[in-house]
Amino acid sequence: MPKTESLRNVENSVDNASFQSHTNSPNWKGKGRNKLSRLRNKFYSADQQNHHDEDGDHQHSFEGLASQTSRHTNSLQVSNDQRPGVSVKNEEAGNRDPIVTGESRTPIADSEIARSSSAALSGASGAATQIEQDNLLARYVSQAEKFRDESHGANLECSRLQDEVSRLRTERDKFQEQHKNLHTMYAKLDTDTTHLRNDWDKLHNDNAKLQVDFNHLQIENDTLAQQYRQLVGDMEKKAKDIRQARKTLDDEKERSRLHNDLVSGLNGQLSSLQEKVKQQEVVILFVKKERDGLKQSVASYDKLKIQHKATLEQLDRCEAKLLDCQQNYDDMKSKHSTASDDLKRLTLESRSTLGDDFFIHNFQGLQSAIRQWADEFFRGEDKTMWKARHPHRHQVIHAELLELTNDAKDLLMFSETGSGRSVMCEAYLWRYIEEQIFDSNPDEHSKGMYWAHDVRSDLCRLERFLRPGKRRPDAEQRMFYKWKASTSKLIINRLHPSNDRSRIAIDPKIHSWLVDHALDVLRPWMTSDNERACIEDLEAIIQSAIDFDSHMNEQWSFIWYRRVSGVGQDGNGERGQLPPADDLGEK
């Protein structure tokens, strides 16, 4: 009985301690505090009632109240853990509780525990058995140990918080020290600010003075700007005058250039005078250099200067004379040109014919150029044999091949070494030149006399009309050749001067047509890949053939001018006569 009552007192003391630790917290207000008050009153009312109940009923109600109190305590602990900021405040409040804190904590006395236990269990001591009392005692002891462990954990947490407080105090001391230093620095900054304010006042005064100076300068700047605008206007006027003067200068330069072109022919006559002027200028430069160092030579320098001036005047007079000479020279040149034309005409009529060496050399050169061209571009293995083996697919080639013999075809198409191809191409080009250039009796009016230009077709038609037949008398043949030679001479002399006829001009379209027509036949048999070089060489060959044809036609004219007096009346071929037309060929 006393043991049970002492245990009840222990439970009451623990509940009171836990209740005080929760209710003393500043966060514990409102419904939680009222709820604990109701539970506490209920617990005390149940305790008073249990003094008069039976032992079994007393123990059952006491266990229910103990379990209800423990659940309520756990619920309060969970609610405080879930609320942010409550745990720390409860710990701080617990540190102020004399029962929870480690420094002011007072242990519960055994006599007090015994009195509370005896008072709480006095009503049920008779009915409880010894076993039940031992079990109840063990349960309360375990409950007391549990509360003791919780109290120990709270003491540890309090120690940690005290360490944290000491650390914060240390930091506070540091901050105070820094605050003192900052206060000292602030005092220094205040002093510096005072000095800077004084300097600012000085600068402000200086700025006011500078502003006054700036206003004066601004006024001067406006004046200068107005003057600048006036100067710009004057400069624009002067620039306009300069442009006009430059234009005039360009015109004068153009006139001077024309004048220099006219005077350039007389530079040979002025060379001696210019040489004298250069010598005088060299002497003057030497005297100028000596004058700076030697003052005694001033008189000689003036004398030389006078001589130089006299020389320049003499040069001007010479230039005036040269202008007169230029005019006389132009008159003499025109007279000489007129006399030269007459002299050339007489020379052409009186000069002898070109020698055989000239025509042999030109003919051999043309022959060598054709042979070299054929060997370079048409000798060797055939690179386009498929065209030559199937000539019926190319109408132009087929028409040209019909004129060749079977042996020539075999030699040209099926030669393994290709040695006969260049010979056949050379022969074809010779026949092409003879028919297109040397033949003056064509079937159409588009062949022969390519050096006659625009009148070629008319000459071909007239030649066809005037050419006598082979059975006609020799006198008619000679008259025809005389007409042809005279006509060719007139045309060639009209194209170029007689003493400058290295190449005969030809219409580019006709020249290109002759080259293209020849290449249409020869291109399938070409063995070289450089077709551009082949075309250029062929153009040179065609031009040489036309030059040779023009020289031959002109030569007939000279033959007739030289031998016309020796032509007999009977046409028996005496000395000085031309051979018959059959012996001359087409020429």
- Total domains in the chain come to 3
Contact in structure between 315 and 277 (CB atoms under 8 Å):
yes
Residue 376 included in any domain: yes
Specify whether 329 is located in the same domain as 374: no
Residue 250 has pLDDT above 60, yes or no: yes
Q: How confident is the model at residue 442, as a pLDDT?
A: 47
Whether 308 is in a domain gets the answer: yes
User: Per-residue pLDDT averaged across 195-213, rounded?
Assistant: 91
Rounded to two decimals, the pTM is 0.34
Q: How many CB atoms lie within 10 A of CB 429?
A: 22
Pair (373, 431) in one structural domain: yes
pLDDT higher than threshold 50 for residue 313: yes
Q: Is the pLDDT of residue 207 over 60?
A: yes
What band does 391 get if pLDDT is binned at 50, 70 and 90?
very low
DSSP 369-420: HHHHHHHHHS-SS-S-HHHHH-GGG-HHHHHHHTTS-HHHHHHHHS-SS-HH
Tell me, yes or no, whether 409 lies in a domain: yes
Least confident of 48-57, 132-141, 393-402, 566-575: 566-575
Which range, 100-104, 193-197, 381-385, 410-414, has the best average confidence (pLDDT)?
193-197
Domain membership flag for residue 155: no
Residue 8 has a pLDDT of 47
The pLDDT value given to residue 540: 92
Are residue 326 and residue 417 in the same domain, yes or no?
no
The confidence band for 421, taking pLDDT boundaries of 50, 70 and 90, is confident
Among residues of the chain, what percentage have pLDDT more than 90? 13
pLDDT at 493: 65
Lowest-confidence range among 240-244, 352-356, 560-564? 560-564
Q: Within this chain, do residues 450 and 326 fall inside the same structural domain, yes or no? A: no
CA dist list (Å): 13 to 7, 73, 93, 110, 477: 10, 14, 19, 12, 171
Q: At what angle do helices 86-96 and 130-263 cross, to 10 degrees?
A: 130
Shared domain check, 335 and 440 = no
Say yes or no: 16 and 101 in one domain.
yes
Q: Which of 93, 128, 163 is the last residue of a domain?
A: 128
Contacts of residue 526, defined as CB under 8 A and 6 or more positions apart, other chains included, come to: 377, 378, 383, 384, 534
User: Tokens 């049920």 correspond to what residue?
Assistant: 124
- What's the chain's average pLDDT? 69
CA 533: distance to chain centroid? 38
The predicted pLDDT at position 102 comes to 41
Cα of first residue to Cα of last residue in the chain, in angstroms, is 174
pLDDT at 253: 83
Same domain, 360 and 343: no
What pLDDT is attached to residue 536? 93
> Looking at the structure, do residues 387 and 334 belong to the same domain, yes or no?
no
- Taking 50 as the threshold, does the pLDDT of residue 307 lie above it? yes
Q: What is the pLDDT, as a whole number, of residue 47?
A: 52
- Least Cα distance to 66 among 14, 20, 28 occurs for 14
Distance between CA atoms of residues 395 and 403, nearest Å: 13
Average pLDDT over residues 403-420: 60
- Is the same domain home to 334 and 447? no
The domain boundary residue, chosen from 284, 316, 347 = 347
Contact 134, 128 (CB under 8 A): no
Structural domain span for residue 405: 355-584
CA 506 – CA 453 distance, rounded (Å): 7
pLDDT, average across residues 124-138: 75
Asked if residue 413 and residue 555 are part of one domain, the reply reads: yes
Lowest mean pLDDT among 86-100, 139-153, 228-242, 325-339: 86-100
User: Is the per-residue pLDDT at 361 higher than 90?
Assistant: no
| Residue 447 binned pLDDT confidence (cut-offs 50, 70, 90) | low
Residue ranges of alpha helices (H) inside 264-355 are 267-293, 298-350
Last residue of a domain, one of 128, 146, 162: 128
Instruction: Tell me the mean pLDDT in the region 318-333.
Output: 83
Predicted confidence at residue 386, as pLDDT, reads 42
Copy the structure tokens of residue 552.
């031959």
In a domain, 307, yes or no: yes
Tell me whether residue 162 is in a domain.
no
Share of the chain above pLDDT 70, in %: 53
Same domain, yes or no: 435 and 502: yes
If asked whether residues 434 and 567 sit together in one domain, one would say yes
Q: Does residue 443 or residue 356 have the better pLDDT? A: 356
Each residue's pLDDT tens digit, 455-509: 666 676 677 777 777 778 877 877 777 777 777 767 766 655 544 455 667 778 8
Task: Please check the confidence at residue 22 and state whether its pLDDT lies above 70.
Answer: no
Could you tell me if residue 477 is inside a domain? yes
Q: Is 246 domain-assigned?
A: no
Q: What angle is formed at CA 442 by the lines to CA 436 and CA 443, rounded to 5 degrees?
A: 120
For the cut 80, the answer to whether the pLDDT of residue 251 exceeds it is: yes
The pLDDT score that the predictor gives to residue 171 is: 92
Give the residue-averaged pLDDT of 117-137.
68
pLDDT the model gives residue 573: 34
